[in-house]
Structure 1
Amino acid sequence: MERIAGFKSSSEGKSNEREGGNNENFDLASGDEHQLHLDGSSSTSRRLHYNRHTPHQIQQLEKLKRERHENAILKQENEQLRLENLAMKEAVKKPVCNECGGQATIPDISIQQHKLLIENARLKEELSNMTSVVNQLSITINNNNKNPTDLNHPTSQMVQLRTNNYGYLHEHASTAIEELLKLGLLNAPLWNKNMEGGGETLNFEEYARAFPHCRLGIKPLGFVSESTRASGVLPMTSLALVEALLNAQRWREMFVGMIGSCDTMEVISNGIGGGSRNGALQVMKAEIQFISPLVPVRVVKFIRHAKQQANGIWIVVDVSVNDGMEGNLTRKCPSGCILHDMPNGFSKVTWIEHTEYDEKLAPQQYRQLVRSGLGFGAQRWISALLRHCEALRATTSPTLTGHLSINTKISLKGLAKRMTSIFCDAVCLTGDQQWDLVADAPGRPRIMARKCMSSLGEPAGGIITSASYSVWIPANHGHLFDLLLTKELRCMGWDVICHEIASKNMIHFPLGQDEISPNCISILSSNETASDMTGSLIVYATVDLPAVSMVMNGEDTSSVALLPLGLCIVPGYGECGTSVGECGSMVTLGFHILLRDLATSNLAIDTINTINDLVSRTVLGIKEIGRSS
């Protein structure tokens, strides 16, 4: 039988299929295309395709072939690595010294120690990465941009903010304003009455629910929180107080004894324009002090932002900025004041103070006092602000203390303010003075010394020594303050210069609403007293007749040499009670003594013993007065 033209035999087809398979190219096998002419007639063209695999199947087959080849290579490499690993383990078991070729010894490091080393390396790398991130959002210190003629920047370090950080600081301040406003408006259960220091204390559980995200990050290990709120009515407008708070020098003068030093490091914005202080933003640094040599000074760097919330309503907020380079031991969470103008020219102030600090640095007998807010809390700021406003009114009013001219009162107030500042700075070691430590044994006075600086209103020549000591006295602080001001007890018990001064006040200037106010300035020596529920202060110094004449004439007294002495009384703790001030007071004494015959701060043992005896006699006298009450 003849084959039909155009078709191949089955044997030929099979042969072609085998050839295609041997080539392993997976090409499509197809037959020839022919036309069939049967019975002299032409039929329709017809295509016959012999496709063994689809394109998708071909791709999968190619992929499988590549994977088989790669797997074979990986198996070979894995086997080679396994053999190398075994060889290295054997080499570790029998180490050889590279120098001599003999047996070597290696330190016995356990697996646990090895894991710790790896973990330490990982943590160091993580810390380095986090520090670099923080530094990008922070303030960089630039010592090359110092302007020696700028009186507003007395420190050697200047802070220059990178331009791309301004937006972050504005956002940081705006968030702090919102939190401070909520803290000022909300009451219980967020705030609880403070039975010890007055005002209110923050309920931290409610605070965590109301403000779950802290802008300052996680609280450092060992830090504790302290937050208080207090209110008062001041005889000044809200705008006047805002202006004072934005001026570093005026701010320090308002809170003499509380602020050891302060500096405006950079002004980012003076306000929205047109002389308005709305939107003012600046970076500041301050030393906040408690008058005792035992309580560490709080050094804080923060941004201060002022905002006018509405007509007659201002908010001034402080919040810490972390530059990633300073190990500050205090963080200021959103704190500040909310001011409301009143129709009579007064203003209502709500003060909120919220800080985090390392409590371990404070001695045990002061910890509860600080927690209560009497040390650094809102009640102390409000009390100091009220005293300042009363003194300002008494100084500028022609009707109060009419026997003294306004210029005389201004001169006297300036002298007393400088005296108090010198006393507090020496006790707390703040301000610009550099002291040398002479003695600081436990249970003994801390004695410091430095050369006289006659240009600063000090005696010419010699060495000034400062001695300070804190002691617990079993007497209520207010009652003890009254007893210590009693003239007979003062001369017999504790005032070491009482016999050297006149028996009658040459000048008496009350700083309150009446003549019997506990806040006053007197010149029997130069003497300033101040008292409120957070504590009492008595500071005094001898002055000569030319200085008195300068005061009476209303002259500048900045050149008058002062060596202040005094004491600070705050509510304390005793064994008989658990609440602040129930049965005792913490009394801090401070002395300035001039040693004219010395040229260096190296004091002889006899001199140190004499100073210790002076402090001991004074402490015994105060204790005797406390027991007699």
Structure 2
Amino acid sequence: MEGRPNHLPLEEVMSGDDGEDSRSWSDNLGGGGGGGGGVSDDDDDGEQSRRKGGGYHRHNPGQIQELEAFFREIPHPDDRQRLELSRRLGLDVRQIKFWFQNRRTQFKAQSERHENILLKEDNTRLKNENDVLKIRLTNPSCSKCHGPVYSNAAIDLSAEEQLLIKENVRLKDELVRIRALAGKLSGKPIDTSHLTSKLPGFNGVSNHNRAKKRRDVSKTGGRTVSTGRSLRNGTLDNRPYQKASLIDAAISAMNELMKLAEAYGPIWSRNFAGSTELLNREEYLKMFSHDNPLGSSCVGAEGSRDTVVVSLNSQAIIGIFMDVNKWIEAFPCLIARASTVEVISDGVNGSRNGSLQLMKAELQVPSPLVSTRQVRFIRFCKQQREGLWAVVDVSVEDGAGLRAPTDCRRLPSGCILQDLPNNFTKVTWIEHSEWETNSVHPLFQQVINTGKLFGAPRWAASLQRHCDSLPLLVLCSNSNANLSGVSPGGNRNILKLVQRMNELFCSGVCVSTKSKWESIHVGNISEDVKIKYRRNTSSPGEPPGLLMCASTSFWLPAAQDILFNFLRNEQCRRQWDILSLSGAMQETFRVSKGPGDSNYISLLRAVGPDSSHTGMMVVQECWIDASGASIVYAPVDDSVINAAVNGRDTESVALLPSGFSIIPDGPSPGKVNGNENGGCLVTLGFQILVNTTPSAKLTQDSFNSVHNLISFTIHKIKAALHLN
């Protein structure tokens, strides 16, 4: 075998058995095969290796996996990196070099194939438009009114009849376009040659009012109103030409999402640890162009991409996205409220392929200093190929446009779902939006562009936590299940209690319009401390009386995991929690909601200074991931917990939750108190019962009490962690 190179050329690898071993995520998106070979960038080195000879070398799966992982991070390794790989994988440096050259050649070929697919789609669209033009040429019309050509001597049409004819022809053209787009979605061409000059339902002057209504909505100053401007009262009023525009926008957004998912190089950059990548705005504008709907020079933009593997198949994930209630349940800390305005398409042949919905939502971050984002968008689901689906969202405007500075515009965003063995799915999430920069609090100016507030890492991490907790939900729904010695009914009750506790905590801390709290400003209290109140007279899930909520966000020079472990540790609770009564907390129950020991629900028993039981329990939920961390808790009576554990309903259990939301801030600008590793943005929120009488008056003492409680807690945490 002398004279043969140590690595197969591209043609042999693409047709040989090695193709399956070398398949990567990029291959799956592009539909390609093999670990690849190709023409070397350095012909002299390649020829030298051929002269030295050697047998064929087939990389083992472990080596291929390492090389693929390194290629996704660094497609062009330098000499030092190639040397390190050769030592780690037991391969020759030249083998490493040729593998990367071949892999780059293969990736380029895959990109070209995908571009060809997009060009074919454009070609199909142009053919459909050409067919429509041919139909128009066979039926000539007046250049002014677009109606049939009549002889004035033969017939004298009234003004109303001329308008009806004009409207009839325009609607017929829109119907032709709708059918062409429907054919594109379904993959089956729809014949439009049978269309006549009259549409059903338009039979002369009797339809004058209906035609007039369409003219008023669809025409302004002789031009067609844009899709977003023609949406009135949240519905499409079954107008086919509006739906056609939305379908066109959905297809365009899907094409952009797929291009962003497959793009590498300068358009995406990785500037902090983890799998998150940030969008290069300048490179993006070179590749795509969008109008700026905010109409202001003070517009911010953020784009991020993240990848996770979740323990749920793609069809189940699509079911979450297309059902608004399941969508809210999967992202409780991100979605304050959401609704489906209209279902434009249910899909093709009973599947979700081609599903299109008009939706609106209010997005939130657990902080009183971060404004919510009002978004109105279309959601489009499409199967790209076998085992690969994509769901894309893109904003559309309502009749009034963007109503407030806190509103934002979502450019094509969404996720690509790739099926993996054992019912797993690889999720590539892309989030891209624009907003007015003057709506961002200075405390969050530095972190907002990292995607940790509304970006891809937060969405992807929330989806992963939800998928990890689904086995617990199924187990709690099983009448034969038993967790930690608690009855099945008790498991369900505790889970429902925790879900309601988190909803109440977010409603108090966030600034969502869904909240029933009323804000109040107190002159001697800092503006960063937000105080709200409400008078509860009817809600059974909260204690009756005058309720008050106080929350604030602040920065701490401490690593996220250190702060999280300190706050969740029941042994450290007496150092900062006034509920511990200077005693200890004992954990009596814990159930995991995911892998590891950092995502769980627990019950804590308060023990007094003399080791006596105080009769109070604390329900607590904790979780942590790369996007942040959360500790939410609520005190309840011991008797209530015992009843819940024994299967009694918890809907009427009164809760006043408190807790912490933690967002990693990354490296700080220089040393802060000797800390070079950055810190965290911490949100602290308390809900307390001020008076058992709902009609009681708010007093200055009440404001001072909640403000002192926040100051006391922050001071104790800093002192315990030795933070100045």
Q: TM-score, normalization: structure 2?
A: 0.62
Could you say if the C-alpha distance between residues 439 and 218 of structure 1 is closer, same or farther in structure 2, counting changes exceeding 3 Å? Answer: closer
1:197–1:374 CA contact under 8 A, matched in 2:
no
1:268 aligns with 2:268: no
Residue aligning to 1:214 = 290
Task: State the 1:565 CA deviation.
Answer: 0.5
Structure 2: gaps spanning 5 or more residues: 1-218, 605-617
1:390 aligns with 2:468: yes
- Overall identity of the aligned pairs, in %: 36
Task: State the 1:373 CA deviation.
Answer: 0.9
Task: State the 1:487 CA deviation.
Answer: 2.7
Task: State the 1:349 CA deviation.
Answer: 0.5
Residues 187-213 of structure 1 deviation map (CA, whole Å, 9 limit, x = unaligned): 1122111316741111222212222x3
Task: State the 1:476 CA deviation.
Answer: 1.3
Could you say if the C-alpha distance between residues 431 and 438 of structure 1 is closer, same or farther in structure 2, counting changes exceeding 3 Å? Answer: closer
Residue aligning to 1:313 = 388
Residue aligning to 1:289 = 364
Which one of 477, 500, 515 corresponds to residue 418 of structure 1?
A: 500
Residue aligning to 2:410 = 332
Task: State the 1:379 CA deviation.
Answer: 0.8
Give 2:468's aligned amino acid. E
Residue aligning to 1:509 = 591
**Pair member with larger Rg:** 1
1:518 aligns with 2:598: yes
1:267–1:283 CA contact under 8 A, matched in 2:
yes
SS at match of 1:253: helix
CA distance in 2, matches of 1:492, 1:130: 69
1:320–1:331 CA contact under 8 A, matched in 2:
yes
CA distance in 2, matches of 1:620, 1:574: 21
Counterparts of 1:345-364 in structure 2, within 5 Å, are 345-364=423-442
Which one of 221, 225, 232 corresponds to residue 308 of structure 2?
A: 232
Task: State the 1:135 CA deviation.
Answer: 5.6
Counterparts of 1:143-542 in structure 2, within 5 Å, are 160=237, 162-195=239-272, 198-211=275-288, 213-214=289-290, 220-274=296-350, 276-325=351-400, 326-328=402-404, 329-397=407-475, 403-404=485-486, 407-430=489-512, 432-439=514-521, 441-443=525-527, 445-452=529-536, 454-455=538-539, 457-459=541-543, 461-493=544-576, 495-499=577-581, 503-514=585-596, 517-524=597-604, 525-542=618-635
1:140–1:162 CA contact under 8 A, matched in 2:
no
Residue aligning to 1:615 = 710
1:435–1:450 CA contact under 8 A, matched in 2:
yes
SS at match of 1:543: strand
Give 1:265's aligned amino acid. V
Residue aligning to 2:685 = 590
2:592–2:599 CA contact under 8 A, matched in 1:
yes
Could you say if the C-alpha distance between residues 520 and 492 of structure 1 is closer, same or farther in structure 2, counting changes exceeding 3 Å? Answer: same
2:568–2:622 CA contact under 8 A, matched in 1:
no
Residues 436-473 of structure 1 deviation map (CA, whole Å, 9 limit, x = unaligned): 222255355211111215335222x3122111111221
Task: State the 1:305 CA deviation.
Answer: 1.0
1:395–1:406 CA contact under 8 A, matched in 2:
no
Give 2:255's aligned amino acid. E
Task: State the 1:216 CA deviation.
Answer: 6.3
CA distance in 1, matches of 2:371, 2:321: 24
1:571–1:581 CA contact under 8 A, matched in 2:
no
CA distance in 1, matches of 2:257, 2:387: 17
Task: State the 1:282 CA deviation.
Answer: 1.0
Could you say if the C-alpha distance between residues 596 and 131 of structure 1 is closer, same or farther in structure 2, counting changes exceeding 3 Å? Answer: farther
Task: Name the structure, 1 or 2, with higher relative contact order (CA <8 Å, separation 6+).
Answer: 1
Residues 264-314 of structure 1 deviation map (CA, whole Å, 9 limit, x = unaligned): 11111221243x111111111111111111111111111111111222211
CA distance in 1, matches of 2:571, 2:428: 41
Task: State the 1:262 CA deviation.
Answer: 1.0
CA distance in 2, matches of 1:131, 1:443: 50
CA distance in 1, matches of 2:527, 2:698: 20
Residue aligning to 1:603 = 698
CA distance in 1, matches of 2:676, 2:650: 38
Residue aligning to 1:26 = none
Greater Cα offset, 413-422 or 482-491: 482-491
CA distance in 2, matches of 1:385, 1:536: 14
CA distance in 2, matches of 1:188, 1:405: 54
Could you say if the C-alpha distance between residues 278 and 570 of structure 1 is closer, same or farther in structure 2, counting changes exceeding 3 Å? Answer: same
1:409–1:509 CA contact under 8 A, matched in 2:
no
SS at match of 1:506: strand
Task: State the 1:556 CA deviation.
Answer: 4.2
Structure 1: gaps spanning 5 or more residues: 1-127, 143-156
Residue aligning to 2:203 = none
SS at match of 2:621: strand
Give 1:454's aligned amino acid. S
1:438–1:603 CA contact under 8 A, matched in 2:
no
Could you say if the C-alpha distance between residues 249 and 273 of structure 1 is closer, same or farther in structure 2, counting changes exceeding 3 Å? Answer: same
Could you say if the C-alpha distance between residues 199 and 182 of structure 1 is closer, same or farther in structure 2, counting changes exceeding 3 Å? Answer: same
Residues 127-186 of structure 1 deviation map (CA, whole Å, 9 limit, x = unaligned): x979995466535333xxxxxxxxxxxxxx767564420000011111101110111111
Greater Cα offset, 399-408 or 216-225: 399-408
CA distance in 2, matches of 1:414, 1:132: 54
SS at match of 2:555: strand
CA distance in 1, matches of 2:262, 2:669: 38
Residue aligning to 1:88 = none
CA distance in 2, matches of 1:501, 1:307: 57
Residues 506-564 of structure 1 deviation map (CA, whole Å, 9 limit, x = unaligned): 321121224xx111111221101111122111100012345323432455433222110
Task: State the 1:354 CA deviation.
Answer: 0.4
- Kindly tell me the number of residue pairs found equivalent between the two proteins: 481
CA distance in 1, matches of 2:305, 2:352: 25
SS at match of 1:627: coil
Residue aligning to 1:35 = none
Greater Cα offset, 252-261 or 388-397: 388-397
Could you say if the C-alpha distance between residues 476 and 616 of structure 1 is closer, same or farther in structure 2, counting changes exceeding 3 Å? Answer: same
2:275–2:307 CA contact under 8 A, matched in 1:
no
CA distance in 2, matches of 1:197, 1:282: 33
Task: State the 1:221 CA deviation.
Answer: 2.5
CA distance in 2, matches of 1:482, 1:311: 43
CA distance in 2, matches of 1:538, 1:281: 37
Task: State the 1:347 CA deviation.
Answer: 0.7
1:138 aligns with 2:229: yes
Task: State the 1:360 CA deviation.
Answer: 1.7
Residue aligning to 2:642 = 549
CA distance in 1, matches of 2:532, 2:633: 19
Residue aligning to 1:569 = 662
CA distance in 2, matches of 1:594, 1:499: 18
